[in-house]
Every structure is written in structure tokens, then in C-alpha cells.
Structure 1
């Protein structure tokens, strides 16, 4: 089984202290990393935003954390994960878990990859120290090391 998070979160798919004026800009910035890494087409970004407009802030999965994604047919080229921390947290419309500081964007070519990544993400979210360390990381390499430790321990 592919360890999606550990294999796909690289320094090239991480951005720290990103400025975003609202949730759409935050989703767009995470999506741009998926596009630049070759994992998705530009239209995937629009699809992620449209999913939230249609379904509400279902992508907010925990306090301070959003997990934007869309369907494979919306422009996925290969499995991909990006991670951004926001300079200033933004509201996504989830009163229990706003404001959001960490955005982990995701694309998968099929539902199996989706489930694997979600499973690993759950392991990460259970480790509050790791989540806080990622949110406060000062370097991309620090984020990669934290994620590797959590996935290896899971």
C-alpha cells in the first residue's frame, strides 16, 4: 500500500506563512501547489472551490484544519497532496472549527488513494503535538520530518 502522505508531501508541495484574504484564496493557494507539482490541472482548483460552495465547509475536518479536494474527473493527473500554513487564519464557515490555519489539499486518481490518504491524515490529526508543530513550523524540511515521524509511528 502506498504511503500517500509521506510519499507526496515534499518541500515542493509545502508553503508556509501564506497570505490569503479568505477561504477561497486559501484553497486556491493549496491547489496551485498541486498544479505546479503536476498532480492536477488548473480546473481542479475551481472544482475544489465549487465543492465548498455547493456543500458548505465539509472540508473543515478539525479545529483549524481544512482538507480541500474534488473528484478525480475534475482534472486529477496523479495522486497529490499539498500543505500550506496561513499567515493569518481565515474562516471557512464552520463555527465549531474556524478559523483555519492549516490547509492540506489533496487529489487522487481513484477512491482507494483517497481512503489511504484520509487514513494517514487521521493518524496525523490524532497527534496534537505534531499538528501544532506543523502549524508553527519555520521550514519546509521541518514539516516533512514531522509528517515522516507521524506516518512511521502510525
Structure 2
């Protein structure tokens, strides 16, 4: 269950980012501060973004900042960042980015279950639409609980 797997210390609300690179750095910062990734992890993600483009913008308004194995992930973790103002990544169809789900994927593949749960939630239009109304960490975790496990509220 994502609501149990997401550490509340990794949830940020109303973050002000100057641009997409800044949004990546800010969303990953709690992962570094809490020992899930090294301090260099965010810069690796930003570097790949500048080299490869907005590959981490996975669906409309949503990015999944992550880097390959060996880039500084220490423990598996998934966070959430809601931006105060959307930023542009350069993705033709999914901009602007409003929400980021920073991922630290440890080498043991334990992140695959997190990604599966996240993919399920992001496939639900009502869940994505209701992200706009979350104002606190508790609101976000309540929204996760509402939709996980096959629920179809909304």
C-alpha cells in the first residue's frame, strides 16, 4: 500500500520552484536529508534531464524524478511534491508539471511494487484531478488511502 510506504517526511506541499531543474532538486531534497539517497542524487537526475530531455514527465502534469542504479539511491523510497506554481519541462504533451513523485530505487527491485501502485493510481483520472485539492501531508495520505486497493471513488 502506497499510503503505508510513503514516508510523510518525503511529502512537500506548495513548493515554489524557479524551473523544472529546481523542482527536481527540491522534490529530492527530503530523500537526501533522510538518508534515502546521497546528496549527489538530485544532480544526477538533473544532468540526465539536460542530456535526454523530460523523460521523467510520465503523464500529464506529473513527473517521476529518478536516476539509474548506481546514481546514489541508498534505500527504496517514494515521495510527493505539490508545486505552488507549475513549471515547464519541455515535454510537448504533459506540461506543465504540477506534481512530482521522487523515487529512490535501491538495487533490490523493491521499488517495483511502489511503481505498480503508483501506476494504478495515476491511471485514475479522479485521483489525479483530486491532487489539486490536497493542502497538507495528511490530505495527500488520505487521498492515497481512498484510492488504493481497487477502490474507484470519485
Give yes or no for the alignment of 1:117 onto 2:88. Answer: no
Rate the CA distance shift 1:136–1:86 in 2: closer, same or farther, 3 A: same
Q: Is the 8 A contact 1:92 1:99 kept in 2?
A: yes
Structure 1: stretches of 5+ with no match in the other structure: none
- TM-score, with normalisation over the residues of structure 1? 0.90
SS in 1 for 2:17: coil
Q: Is the 8 A contact 1:30 1:105 kept in 2?
A: yes
Aligned counterpart in structure 2 of residue 106 of structure 1, from 96, 100, 103: 103
Partner of 1:131: 128
> How many residues are paired up?
151
Partner of 2:83: 86
Q: Is the 8 A contact 1:19 1:87 kept in 2?
A: yes
Alpha-carbon distance in structure 2 between the residues aligned to 1:111 and 1:56 = 27
Give yes or no for the alignment of 1:147 onto 2:144. Answer: yes
Alpha-carbon distance in structure 2 between the residues aligned to 1:8 and 1:29 = 20
Q: Is the 8 A contact 2:32 2:38 kept in 1?
A: yes
- TM-score, with normalisation over the residues of structure 2? 0.90
Report the CA distance between 1:112 and its aligned residue: 2.3
Q: Is the 8 A contact 1:72 1:107 kept in 2?
A: no
Alpha-carbon distance in structure 2 between the residues aligned to 1:7 and 1:41 = 23
Report the CA distance between 1:131 and its aligned residue: 1.6
Question: Which deviates more, 40-49 or 8-17?
Answer: 8-17
